[in-house]
Chains A and B, each alone.
Chain A
Amino acid sequence: DAKTTQPPSMDCAEGRAANLPCNHSTISGNEYVYWYRQIHSQGPQYIIHGLKNNETNEMASLIITEDRKSSTLILPHATLRDTAVYYCIVRVAGDSSYKLIFGSGTRLLVRP
């Protein structure tokens, strides 16, 4: 089972910020939070990851709460091409497979 909880769907207007929440209340101290997205019929694309500090890259920002039980992915200026399913994943620690457990994700629709 996925260790994260995400809303099934969200929408935002083009040009506005998209804020995608994720709950991971059972996260362990050495587990990272990863975000991927999957555009229809394509392979998932890595977006960003973090441990406890906020992170930013050219695609998005990741805000992790101080207790690490939740996080928010921020797309600062959403475009129509950001319409996709967004997956929040906690990497399983202590498991040498380094596998990612994908839940159902959040389907983000960016409206014109």
Chain B
Amino acid sequence: DGGITQSPKYLFRKEGQNVTLSCEQNLNHDAMYWYRQDPGQGLRLIYYSQIVNDFQKGDIAEGYSVSREKKESFPLTVTSAQKNPTAFYLCASSSLGGGSYEQYFGPGTRLTVT
């Protein structure tokens, strides 16, 4: 089956620890995205990447880092510098041709930091 996988579904960490969230896609999409969602809110863009070894900051990049060493993988690291890391994190991917660019989302990782 083609799609986007995120792991783990739930993640618990102590304050001050860095944590890396996994995102893998087998849709052969060029672009990948990370969003954050807080309770009752819409999604906010953290980072995005349109090509391997390149990525750009979104609207709320502070305290996060990413890498794009392979087309199918776009891991997100939540660093200890992120002041409010507890949230629902969503990864998405899209193609970059054809004019419509709909994004396909993974199931999300719910991170709790105490």
Query: What separation, in Å, do the CA atoms of A78 and B45 have in the docked complex?
Result: 31
Q: Given contacts A99-B45, A102-B42, are A44 and B105 in contact (CB under 8 A)? A: yes
Number of A-B contacts (CB under 8 A): 56
Binds B, one of A18-26, A58-66, A67-75, A90-98: A90-98
Please determine whether A45 and B105 come into contact, CB atoms closer than 8 angstroms: yes
Shortest distance in angstroms between A107's beta carbon and chain B's nearest beta carbon?
9
Interface residues of B in 48-82 (CB under 8 A from A): 48, 50, 56, 58
Cβ of B28 within 8 Å of any chain A Cβ, yes or no, is no
Shortest distance in angstroms between A43's beta carbon and chain B's nearest beta carbon?
3
Main secondary structure of the interface of A (DSSP, over half): loop
Given A97-B45, A97-B58, A98-B48, 8 additional A-B pairs, CB 8 A? A97-B48, A98-B31, A99-B45, A99-B48, A100-B43, A102-B42, A104-B40, A105-B42
Query: What separation, in Å, do the CA atoms of A34 and B35 have in the docked complex?
Result: 17
User: Inside 8 A of B4's CB, which chain A residues have their CB?
Assistant: 43
